[in-house]
Structure 1
């Protein structure tokens, strides 16, 4: 087993702001209208990329369909131009096929199904993402949206490319919001980490835990997040995986630390401007970015 422990300091999100922000988003969606032509926002803007294909808007059983363009970058390791040549070849081939384009090949179809929509009890959505080389299924639930207490996400990814076993995996994540803020603001530690996730591959299992603490200075309001990532082999391949993990332990630790640091940097860059907005400003920002 390989275990990596790392900590980062991030800008906080006040719980009252989260409650208000979720209320703004919910109100915007509930004041909108949707049909097979698109989503009509309260100010009259139409988003044609999000279409209601089944049921009534935001009612349990309603189904929405949208497409997300994915930016495809050339492989940085193609030092001799092979990556560019391959990209041009793919673009030429796409251009020769009627009704296709390079952009079409880099898109993902997302189907969103509303399973529950009750701002007092829970909001639960199912997402099915279909891409060229893999399918992803997610089930996401937010308990008590008016006073958010728990976020649960589970899902599975299946690859279409061979060998498929390299890409097939399942995972789940759980964030106990009712425990997160007391721990982050006061240092009162709950019995277990308020944020935890598990990823299961046929050969490897990864467990992630995150625990918040007030920052060491205790006067700037920031959070110090302690992150633990554990990797271990599974089933009959456990001895083989143990050897492979031991050989790659240093590289794994370096990659995990870099990934956590990058996430913290992005959080600290994007979150403060959002938290500085009041509800009117947040609503205006959301409406200006359909």
Structure 2
């Protein structure tokens, strides 16, 4: 199947600036005990340094809603904090932090009903070229043996903007994703191009999805996928449309921010602009 959505554009220069703001905030933060402190003295909420030295390879961070639960127990914080019971936590292990070479992270997300393990790399953060994310998931109570999946996402940033901002056709898909199950494999390819309708500018992003069986059960999986194909196509198209709607409602306000505005938004402080 193939489905096209229209997305509000993100200038490459703004994307680089946004990464620089995030990186500078992280690099300017300091560890005091297990807590992380921003230069202005603010404590970064819900994050704890649990192992190693801050921003050194091997450092591990725990992200949870511990602060909100503590605030609720003390009678403060959000009114609904006491009702939070998901038990979801995330552990980040820093493998590399080099602004010229790469940032590499291992992320483990644990919830009551399962776990997701991811490995992410951003090459050349100062001049970002490639993002790769791979991982595995395991969930409880999922039917048809779908409890275990593994996948990979690859985004070639240079090629993405080259295709999105020029009329020339992309030689290959700059964004690809694959999800493997023991019975089947799903592969998606996303190719952007300039959107021109005389009224709005943006990106036409065409997503192509292919499904096929794999392993010894390939014939049976092919039959099952054929029967479920129409539902899968509708579900994927609906999901892409919903994501595009959220993107288009959020991105224009973000790209209107300069570095100061982005930094203020990330630290939850009013901008001087």
Report the TM-score, using the length of structure 1 for normalisation.
0.83
Q: 1:132 to 1:64 in 2, by over 3 A?
A: same
Q: 1:247 to 1:160 in 2, by over 3 A?
A: closer
1:163 shift after superposition: 6.7
1:160 shift after superposition: 4.1
1:132 shift after superposition: 1.3
Contact 2:137 2:150 in 1 (8 A): yes
How far apart, in 1, do the equivalents of 2:83 and 2:183 lie?
34
Contact 2:135 2:152 in 1 (8 A): yes
How far apart, in 2, do the equivalents of 1:146 and 1:48 lie?
27
Residues 32-72 of structure 1 show CA distances to partners (whole Å, capped at 9, x for unaligned) of 11244322112211134201111111111111011159xxx
Contact 1:156 1:168 in 2 (8 A): yes
Contact 1:129 1:135 in 2 (8 A): yes
The match for 1:260 is: 240
1:171 shift after superposition: 0.3
> Does 2:39 correspond to 1:59?
no
1:248 shift after superposition: 1.8
Q: 1:19 to 1:268 in 2, by over 3 A?
A: same
How far apart, in 2, do the equivalents of 1:227 and 1:36 lie?
46
Q: 1:218 to 1:194 in 2, by over 3 A?
A: farther
How far apart, in 1, do the equivalents of 2:241 and 2:142 lie?
33
In the alignment, structure 2 segments of 5+ residues that lack a partner are 67-80
Contact 2:170 2:191 in 1 (8 A): no
1:236 shift after superposition: 1.6
Report the TM-score, using the length of structure 2 for normalisation.
0.88
Residues 188-237 of structure 1 show CA distances to partners (whole Å, capped at 9, x for unaligned) of 23321000000001112110110000013377431000001111111122
> Does 2:214 correspond to 1:217?
no
1:252 shift after superposition: 1.4
Contact 1:68 1:110 in 2 (8 A): no
In the alignment, structure 1 segments of 5+ residues that lack a partner are 70-100
How far apart, in 2, do the equivalents of 1:200 and 1:102 lie?
38
1:186 shift after superposition: 0.3
Give the number of aligned pairs: 255
How far apart, in 1, do the equivalents of 2:268 and 2:145 lie?
43
Contact 1:204 1:241 in 2 (8 A): yes
1:107 shift after superposition: 2.3
Q: Secondary structure at the match of 1:222?
A: strand
Answer with 9-18 or 156-165: which moved more.
156-165
Structure 1 segments of 4 or more deviating over 6 A?
A: none
Q: How does 1:170-249 map to 2 (within 5 A)?
A: 170-217=150-197, 220-249=200-229
Q: 1:45 to 1:68 in 2, by over 3 A?
A: same
1:147 shift after superposition: 0.6
> Does 2:120 correspond to 1:140?
yes
Q: 1:262 to 1:143 in 2, by over 3 A?
A: same
The match for 1:275 is: 255
Q: Secondary structure at the match of 1:16?
A: helix
Task: State the structure with bigger RCO (CA 8 A, min sep 6), 1 or 2.
Answer: 1
Query: What is the root-mean-square deviation of aligned Cα atoms in Å?
Result: 2.0
Q: Secondary structure at the match of 1:248?
A: helix
How far apart, in 2, do the equivalents of 1:266 and 1:244 lie?
32
Q: 1:276 to 1:207 in 2, by over 3 A?
A: same
One of 37, 40, 54 as aligned partner of 1:43: 40
Q: 1:164 to 1:31 in 2, by over 3 A?
A: farther
